Structures are given as C-alpha cells and as structure tokens.
Amino acid sequence: MINQRFVVSISPHIKNGRTVRRMIVTTIAALAPAALWGFYQFGLDAVALVAVGITAACGTEALISRLAGKSSSLSDGHAVLTGLVLALLVPAGVPFWLVIVGAVMAILVGKMPFGPLGGAPIYPALVGLLIVATSWPNEIKSYVQPTTAPTELKVEGAADAEFPRDAVFIDPSDEAEYKTADLFMGKQVGPIGAISPLLLLLGGLFLILRRVARWQAPFGFLVGMGVAAGIGHALDPGGCASASFHLFTGSAMFGAFFLCTDWSSTPVTPWGMFLFGLIGGGLAVLLRIAGLPYGAVPWAIVIMSLATPIFDRITPTPFGKVASHA
C-alpha cells in the first residue's frame, strides 16, 4: 500500500453525475408530449417530417465532423435535438426537402462553424428555420387541418389572413370564434410541435424542476408578450388580438420554454435572463403586429440572441461587494 501512487486532482472530488448528454436527453423528453400531440393532430406526415429532420441533422453533423477531421460529437444528442426542434417548428404540410435543407443549414451554418457545443451565438435550429422560411415563404405556410379542431378553420384562405402571422390564420374579428380553452388544450392550427400550450408548459416546468432550464427567461418572455399584447389590444382591439390569444398561439410557448432557455445563445445571469425574455416577448408581439411574413417568435429570439453578450454583463453584485452603478 505504501508505494502505491494514487490519482491526484483538484477539488471537488465528487460530481453530481450530470452530463451534457443527459441534459439534452431531458430536453428531448420534455418536448416529447408536445411532439406526440402534434403527431396525433397531423398524422404520419408529421412523424415523417420529424424523422427526416433528425436524420438530416445527424447526417450533416457526422459528415462535417469527418471532413473537418474531428471526433464525432453525435453522442451528446445535440444534433438530434436540433433536427427535432426544427421539424417541430414547421407546419405538417411542408415538403420534405424543405426540412432537409433547414436541418442541413442549421448544422452547417448555425452550429459547426462555431466549434464545439456551446459556441453557437444563435440557436442552430432557428438559423435553419429562418433560412428556409425566408427563402420559401409560401412553402413554409403549408398549414394542415388538425384532427380535432373546435370550429371550421380557414386553412384555405390562409395566405390572405393578416395576423398573428406565425400563428393561426384567422383575422382579428374571428378571434371570438375561438375559445381560449381550446387554444390552450392544443386544438388549433400551427407548427407540428407548437400547437399545445398546455403540454409545452408542462414540459417547460419539467425542465425547470430538473434544473436544465431556469425560470427567469421563460417567465420574462411570457410576461413581455402578455404585457405588450395587453397594451396593444387596449389601444387597438381591431389590430391586435388579446394577450391570451398571443400567448397560446404560434410558437409563443415553445419559444418561451425551449428557445429562450438554450445554453450558449441566451444569458446566464438572473436579471440578464429575465430582461432577455421580457424584451424578447415584447419584440415578438411587435413583429407579429408589424407584419413579419412568418415566424415572429423565432425572429424575436434570434434578434435577442445577438444581444446576449450585453445581457450577460448584467451580473449580480458578488457576495460582500457594495453594489456599484458603473
């Protein structure tokens, strides 16, 4: 025993066993209920799109890793998550090639140039999504009638409708036709994985309880959207739907819990996260009203991500230091 040499390292000598892979698997698990609801509502097309998205993302990552001569990082599951999120954010009627292009772009442009996981300044899936949404503005709006809809939805006249533009294609006067409860329970038209605010909320709370995400950014985002929509609705009921309508449609809930809580593209300090969400939520409502052709919530979060380094400067006063207003 005396002459045996032991391992030497710096403290701490124990860890809680959490790994990047586990956190990503938890995130995918949190998304699963909303994805399954989407599969139920939109059928096998939705399943196929998600499968294609994941396959394309993983294939691109494996190929680029090999070309760049790096060890493959597929095992951490991030490529799967990227493909999944991308596919869940498009409507079920889009052509397959659109999702493939989006997934390839997400990895090729959004993730790999920035080195290992943690370098991407913008959520890679959003990069892919916005590239295809901007390039093929008509194809991206291939909304499909869900299996259970509360009323006859005007999917056919979609392109003419005015708002909210990344959400249900109805105009403000139609809002009264939709019960808030139906929207909340996921009986609406929208992207595959984003139509069920209830399941997304539960998934998000699961992430927060598992300490994979923090509550500040989602909370800030929902408050920001609610307040902005509330003000807009009070000022001009004909031009802006109510707060609950904004919160329960489109990718608002998805954005709050799964996009605002990304790692590298969002702040890590408590106030930074809250303000990031708050301003992002307000911006999303503004973009919806001002008339983006598609994807107000993704665009708002992308724009906020570019400002993440600024929000990261809002650090709390360290223990025992006097607050300074520098």
Partner 1 sequence: MDISFFSRGIKLSRRVKPGKIERIPPPGRVVLPLQQGSGPPAEPSIEIGEAVKVGQTIARGASNSGADLHASISGEVTAIEDLHFPNGTTVKALVIEGDGKDTWVEPDRDDKPLIASPGELLERIRCGGVIREGSDTKSLAEVIGEAMSPRGYLSPTGSAVAKPVRHIAVRFSDQDPHLDALAALTATIGDETAELDLGVKVLATITGAEQIHFVLDNKQEAPGVDKLADDNDYSVLHVDAANYPCLSSPMVARAVSGKEPDTAFKRVHENGILVLDVNTVLETALAARDRRPVISRLITVGSLAGAGVFEARLGTPLADIASAAGQKEKIGKVVLGGPMKGLAHHTLDFPLTKEISGITLFAQDQVTMAVNDPCVGCGLCAMVCPIRLTPGMLSRYCEFSSWDLAQEAHLFSCIECGCCAYVCPAGRSMVQFMVQGKSELLSTRRSES
Rule CB under 8 A: which residues touch partner 1?
Answer: 1-16, 18-20, 22-23, 115-119, 211-212, 214, 263-264, 267-270, 273, 312, 315-321
Residues 38 and 91 sit within 8 Å (Cβ to Cβ): no
Q: Name the residue nearer to partner 1 (CB basis): 74 or 198.
A: 74
Taking the complex as a whole, the smallest distance from the CB of residue 256 to partner 1 amounts, in Å, to: 17
Residues 189 and 146 sit within 8 Å (Cβ to Cβ): yes
Taking the complex as a whole, the smallest distance from the CB of residue 69 to partner 1 amounts, in Å, to: 18
Taking the complex as a whole, the smallest distance from the CB of residue 117 to partner 1 amounts, in Å, to: 5
Tokens of 70: 């790096």
Q: How far is CA 207 from CA 27, 86, 123, 130, 257, in A?
A: 7, 19, 18, 25, 8
Q: Which residues pair with 170 in a beta bridge?
A: 163
Taking the complex as a whole, the smallest distance from the CB of residue 81 to partner 1 amounts, in Å, to: 12
Task: Return the number of other C-beta atoms located less than 10 Å from residue 14's C-beta.
Answer: 6
Taking the complex as a whole, the smallest distance from the CB of residue 212 to partner 1 amounts, in Å, to: 8
Phi, psi for residue 210 in degrees, rounded to 5: -80, 5
Whole-angstrom distance, CA of residue 111 vs CA of residue 119: 8
Whole-angstrom distance, CA of residue 298 vs CA of residue 281: 11
Instruction: Tally the C-alpha atoms within 13 A of residue 112's C-alpha that lie toward its C-beta.
Output: 27
Taking the complex as a whole, the smallest distance from the CB of residue 309 to partner 1 amounts, in Å, to: 10
With tokens 């300074």, the residue in question is 324
Q: Name the residue nearer to partner 1 (CB basis): 66 or 211.
A: 211
Taking the complex as a whole, the smallest distance from the CB of residue 134 to partner 1 amounts, in Å, to: 27
Whole-angstrom distance, CA of residue 201 vs CA of residue 224: 16
Q: Name the residue nearer to partner 1 (CB basis): 8 or 235.
A: 8
Q: Name the residue nearer to partner 1 (CB basis): 164 or 272.
A: 272
Q: Name the residue nearer to partner 1 (CB basis): 124 or 146.
A: 124
Q: Which amino acid is at 303?
A: I
* Cα-trace Rg, the chain: 21
Whole-angstrom distance, CA of residue 227 vs CA of residue 223: 6
Taking the complex as a whole, the smallest distance from the CB of residue 70 to partner 1 amounts, in Å, to: 12
Q: Name the residue nearer to partner 1 (CB basis): 165 or 214.
A: 214
Q: Name the residue nearer to partner 1 (CB basis): 22 or 154.
A: 22
Task: Return the number of other C-beta atoms located less than 10 Å from residue 206's C-beta.
Answer: 18
Whole-angstrom distance, CA of residue 269 vs CA of residue 9: 29
Q: Name the residue nearer to partner 1 (CB basis): 7 or 235.
A: 7
